[in-house]
Amino acid sequence: MTVTFWTAEKDKQLRRLEAAGVSAAQIAGRLGTTRNAVIGRSARLRGLIFPSQMQRQRSERALRAARLHQQKERIAASLTSMRRVIAKGTPRDMAIASAVKAHVTYQAIADELGLSRQRVQQIVSKSYD
């Protein structure tokens, strides 16, 4: 277990000293830490985010959105394929099992076919036996 320097009491002292207009270097001297540590902690306590953090958060959000979009497209294509296979005469249970193998969720299959998620799970379980 690691002990962190910044405790609730030190945070309170930092805020009080900042409100009094004391410089970061003087606060660091009183608290027994570095000026940079005081500046960083103060920024975090106020909820400030550095430009590099904002850029990283934006790129992570964009990456998640792209992955989600790809996943939705893949599921839609798999569901369309499942519908087409069922229309050609393949047994529904086999088509459901192949859709699950293509990583389509039980709920998505259930919504597409008008079944419950549990029923889809039972069909898939039966097909693997």
pLDDT for the residue 51: 76
Distances (CA, A) of 62 to 43, 56, 69, 72, 103: 25, 10, 10, 15, 23
Residue 20 DSSP symbol: T
Residue 16 has pLDDT above 90, yes or no: yes
pLDDT confidence band for 47 (50 / 70 / 90) = confident
